[in-house]
Structure 1
Amino acid sequence: MFRPKSTLEQWRIFQAVVEYGGYAQAAEQLNKSQSALNHAVAKLQQTLGVALLEVRGRKAFLTEEGQVFLRRAKLLTQQMEELELLAHNIHQGWEAQLTLAVELVHPRPLLNRALQLYYPQSRATQLQLLDTVLTGSMEAISEGTADLVITGTVPRGHIGEPLTEITLLPVCHPQHPLASEPELNLDLLSHHLQIVIRDTGKQPKELGGWLKSDQRWTVNNFHEAIGIMLSGLGFAWVPLHLVEQLIAQGRLHRLNLLEHATRKFYTYLVQPNPGQLGPSGQKLLEALRESHRAEGSAVSHPVKAETGDAG
């Protein structure tokens, strides 16, 4: 196992001598004797076999090699500060890691705004973001595999805070045969290729969406589905916020269904284990709430038990 010959204190002193412009200045800032600093840097250079500093008059100047080592020394001291801060935070009950599961239909700009609010307060907590769909979102809640979950379905026994309304609508390519139909019924749709999003659950169930087509292709996310439709193949129910601009540009066509032309539901914020959410989790929770309040998209009342599906 590797054992370093130099010490962190030697690197800290070397960095201070450079930053403060000399041994005397650094000694005053570090509250150490100048001779102690001279000895530490001399010992460091002797150990490395590399000249880091050269003294001209009363000032110390970096050598070319010293410039390279200084950059690495700054990274070293920064990492040590972060390591000790992490230990301090954990000692205070601050989570080292959080997992946020997000239903794929949820608008990412709202999520990203929340992450911007959370980051300055995160204290180096490692955040894992999981994309989930349908049963996968429910499993993240029921199994407690995520600290916070944004879902389209609230399982029984849990409370969900409504975040934003989602509108799903059926679309296809403007040149697709379905696009030329002035009015469509669901029976006609069943004879055409439908693009659906894969349920991320370990035991996926067909919980929502119209899934009666004779032929279905399953993809991982809405962007893959949109890409396939832009090539002229299939139709899919997709969130309005993802395709509104493409429809306006004439690159995708909204299908004219006689019934069930749109599907609307809310996404909800759920705490699988509210009593176990630590300080960092609470900061993330508040950031998510604030982000959606700023958008003006949330409704005021929590929902318990099961709600609408997530598409």
Structure 2
Amino acid sequence: MYRPKTTLEQWRILQAVVDFGGYAQAADALNKSQSSLNHAVAKLQTMLGVQLLEVIGRKAVLTEAGEVMLRRSRDLTQNVESLELLAHNIHQDWEPEIILAVDLAYPREALYPVLQAFLPESRGSRIKIKDTVLTGTDDAIKKHEADLAIHMSIPKGFLGEPLCHVEFVLVCHPQHELAQLNSVEPTALAQHLQIVIADSSDKPDEKQGWLKSENRWTVSQFDTAIDLLTHNIGFCWLPLYKVKTLLAEKKLQRISVKGSEFKQMTAFLICPTPDDKGPGTSLLEKLILQHRKIDLPSA
């Protein structure tokens, strides 16, 4: 096993000598004798076999190698401080990692202000955002695989706070056969290729959405579905916020279906284990609710 030749204290002393402009100033700031600092830096250079400082006049100046080593040493000491802070937070029951399951239909732009607000208060906790779809989001909630979840429905036995409404529209390429019809019968729709977003569950339960087309292609992301549509391949139900610009630019076109031109779903914030919430999860939950927008702009 590798044993370090140097100590963190030696690197901290070198940083102090540079930051405070010399041995005397660093000694005052660290409440140590100047001779002890001289000895520590000299020993550090000897152990490394590299000259880090050179005295020019009465001032200690970093060598070219010293500049590189000093910069890397700051990363080292910062990492140790972060590690110790993380240990303290764990001792205070602050979670080292918070898992947030987010249904693909929820607009990610709504999360960015939340994460920006959370970062300064995160105490080193990692955020893991887990993209889920339909039953996959159910699984994350029911199996307690997430600390918080944003879902387009509330599973039985759980409670949720509404965050926003998401409108879905049926779209295709302007040159698609379906786009030429003023109103499409559901039976006619079933004769064409449907692009569907894959359920992220290991055991998907395809009970949601219109899935009557026998000819279906499955993709894992909305962006892939949109790429197919813009190449005149199939039709798909997509969130309006994802295709609003493409509709305005006439790169995609809404399909008018008798009995269902659009559908609206509500995104809910759900805490699968509310009695076991840690302080980090509670803070993230609070911030998500503070930044929620019940109504998203529609066309």
Please name the residue that 1:168 is paired with: 168
Whether the 8 Å contact between 1:106 and 1:166 is mirrored in structure 2 is yes
Please name the residue that 1:297 is paired with: 295
Aligned-partner Cα distance in 2 for 1:287–1:9: 39
Question: Where in structure 2 are the equivalents of 1:167-186 lying within 5 Å?
Answer: 167-186=167-186
Whether the 8 Å contact between 1:134 and 1:207 is mirrored in structure 2 is no
Please name the residue that 2:261 is paired with: 261
Question: Which structure's relative contact order is higher, taking Cα pairs within 8 Å and 6+ residues apart?
Answer: 1
Please name the residue that 1:24 is paired with: 24
Please name the residue that 1:192 is paired with: 192
Whether the 8 Å contact between 1:102 and 1:137 is mirrored in structure 2 is yes
Please name the residue that 1:127 is paired with: 127
Please name the residue that 1:93 is paired with: 93
Pairs aligned (count): 296
Q: TM-score, normalised by structure 2?
A: 0.97
Whether the 8 Å contact between 1:133 and 1:200 is mirrored in structure 2 is yes
Aligned-partner Cα distance in 1 for 2:66–2:113: 42
Letter in 2 for 1:157: G
Letter in 2 for 1:297: D
Q: Which stretch has the larger CA shift, 53-62 or 66-75?
A: 53-62
Instruction: Give SS of 2:208's match.
Output: coil
Please name the residue that 1:75 is paired with: 75
TM-fit CA distance, 1:296: 5.0
Aligned-partner Cα distance in 2 for 1:56–1:250: 69
Question: Where in structure 2 are the equivalents of 1:101-112 lying within 5 Å?
Answer: 101-112=101-112
Aligned-partner Cα distance in 1 for 2:48–2:206: 64
Please name the residue that 1:222 is paired with: 222
Letter in 2 for 1:179: A
Structure 1 segments, 4+ long, off by >6 Å, are none
Structure 2: runs of 5 or more not aligned: none
Cα deviation per residue 1:10-32 (whole Å; 9 max; x = unaligned)? Answer: 00001110111100000001110
Letter in 2 for 1:123: R
Aligned-partner Cα distance in 2 for 1:254–1:261: 8
Please name the residue that 1:118 is paired with: 118
Cα deviation per residue 1:277-301 (whole Å; 9 max; x = unaligned)? Answer: 1111111111111111xx3539xxx
TM-fit CA distance, 1:57: 3.1
Cα deviation per residue 1:37-85 (whole Å; 9 max; x = unaligned)? Answer: 0000000001011110012233110011101111111111111111111
Instruction: Give SS of 1:50's match.
Output: coil
Letter in 2 for 1:223: D
Structure 1: runs of 5 or more not aligned: 299-311
Q: Which stretch has the larger CA shift, 132-141 or 106-115?
A: 106-115
Please name the residue that 1:239 is paired with: 239
| Sequence identity (%) | 50
Say what the alpha-carbon RMSD is for the aligned residues: 1.0
Aligned-partner Cα distance in 2 for 1:158–1:212: 30
Letter in 1 for 2:42: A
Please name the residue that 1:42 is paired with: 42
TM-fit CA distance, 1:265: 1.5
